[in-house]
Amino acid sequence: MNQKKFFSSTLIFWNRNKNTRKMPWKGEKDPYKIWISEIILQQTRVQQGLAYYQKFIKAFPDVKSLATAEEQKVFKLWEGLGYYSRCRNLIASAKYIHEHLDGEFPVEFNDILSLKGIGNYTASAISSFAFNKPYAVLDGNVFRVLARFFGIEIPINTTVGKKHFNELAQFLLDKKNPGEYNQAIMDFGAVICKPGIPLCEECPLQSNCVAFLEQKITFLPVNEKVISRKERFFNYFIVEYKGHIYIKERTQKDIWQNLNEFLLVETDNLLCETDFLNDQNVSALFKKNKLKVKFVSKVFSQKLTHQTISGRFFHIELEKPLHALEKYKLVPKKSLDQLPFPKFITSYLTDKNVSLNLI
């Protein structure tokens, strides 16, 4: 039996007889639900994404309900998942399908691929799972399984590597059962050929696996790119005036677009927790307004893909409203929990040592 036939047939056999991995979207044929699950899981662990998927489908069970929903409600439901461009693209594509395709999810691969926020992997997943079309998926699990079994040392995050793995994945695909095969190889990477400590003793591919035979399991797959992170310092002022808090929606092309935030002073370094009012930007914000400093938080941090955000929260109470605050608005304190905020802010507001009563 050649390598291709051994590999593909063994995966299908394992999937039908040994695979016990259960998820609510497995076996799903509705392209909308497959789409939602794949977008949520793009940069989210399954354990976290599962609850979000269930809530999302309950709130927006079809394209029309998502396309016509109030956007802030969609972002609120997405809150905590991060990578909010995914949510913006979901909304944009749902509107497009609803308004230009009569609400019908496209069937052809290239039409699916043309939707905003959908790349080759997601288009392949939807095409194969919903319509049984012969397109191979290529995610982290698939990269790992292929690199180890075939002993491929080409870096997976290079143009050459992506092309090589894509061609190999398509070559190995079971054209008669593309949906089942794709699900099998992804599950196999998640359950058996895991990134940390793979279950090689339980692996039915072991006898032909190059990484196992040549003791290269921990070396493969190769990922040569090192991500450099920019460091940013966010100083948030939770400013209250007569039971209301100043907030605004982030609309600029930056992190956390379409989410809300408090008054922000971004600086080159963290503001000192004791003499922050002497900072030029802070003094310009409050001018001669009489204020009361009610609370200064510890330092909070969040690591994003390409940057690290660090900062403090300063609780301020004013006697008079602030003037000339572009795009900021006053909202009642009690309505804050209905608005979508980035994780950096919600992590602070939900901290056990923090209470909005401090404001």
Confidence of residue 353 (pLDDT cuts 50, 70, 90): low
225 inside domain? no
Same domain, 247 and 145: no
Q: Which two tokens stand for residue 226?
A: 């090192």
Question: pLDDT for 249-294, tens place per residue?
Answer: 998 888 999 899 999 999 988 888 788 888 888 888 888 788 888 8
- The answer to whether residue 3 scores a pLDDT higher than 70 is yes
Q: Do 252 and 128 lie in a common domain?
A: no
**Residue 354 banded pLDDT, cuts 50, 70, 90:** low
Based on the fold, state whether residues 149 and 257 are members of the same structural domain. Answer: no
The owner of tokens 């309505």 is 335
Regarding whether 281 and 204 lie in a shared domain, the answer is no
Report if residue 221 sits inside a domain: no
Residue 296 lies in a domain: yes
The CATH number for 299's domain is 3.90.79.10
CATH number of the domain to which 115 belongs: 1.10.340.30
151 within domain boundaries: yes
User: pLDDT value at position 253?
Assistant: 84
Contact in structure between 263 and 326 (CB atoms under 8 Å): no
List pLDDT tens digits, range 57-91: 999 999 999 999 999 999 999 988 888 899 999 99
Helix H or strand E encompassing 262: none
Sole residue written with tokens 């075939």: 150
On whether residue 133 sits in a domain, the answer given is yes
Same domain, 78 and 197: yes
DSSP 319: S
Q: Say what the pLDDT of residue 323 is.
A: 78
When pLDDT is cut at 50, 70 and 90, the band that residue 24 belongs to is: confident
Do both 151 and 243 map to the same domain?
no
Q: Above 80 in pLDDT, residue 117?
A: yes
Shortest CA distance to 242 belongs to which of 167, 333, 129, 136? 333
Beta strand 307-318 with 291-296: parallel, antiparallel or unpaired? antiparallel
Structure confidence at residue 227 (pLDDT): 66
The kind and range of the H/E element at 99 are helix 85-100
Mark whether 57 and 123 lie in a shared domain: yes
pLDDT in tens, 143-185: 999 999 999 999 998 889 999 999 999 999 999 999 999 999 9
Containing H/E element for 3?
helix 3-17
CB of 173 closer than 8 Å to CB of 181? yes
What local confidence, expressed as pLDDT, does residue 233 receive? 94
* Residues acting as catalytic residues: 38
Q: Which whole-number Å values give the CA distances from 296 to 76, 233, 274, 310, 315, in the listed order? A: 26, 15, 9, 14, 6
For residues 241 and 168, membership in a common domain is answered with: no
How many domains in the chain? Answer: 2
166 and 110 part of one domain: yes
For 179-221, the pLDDT digits (tens) are 999 999 999 999 999 998 899 999 999 999 999 999 999 999 9
**209 and 236 share one domain:** no
| Whether residues 271 and 162 fall in one domain | no
Q: Could you tell me if residue 29 is inside a domain?
A: yes
Domain for residue 150, yes or no?
yes
Domain holding 42, by residue range, is 3-213
- Whether the predicted pLDDT of 359 surpasses 70: no
323 and 239: one domain? Answer: yes
Provide the strand spans (E) within the chain: 230-241, 244-249, 260-261, 263-267, 291-296, 300-303, 307-318, 329-332
Residue ending a domain, among 213, 239, 266, is 213
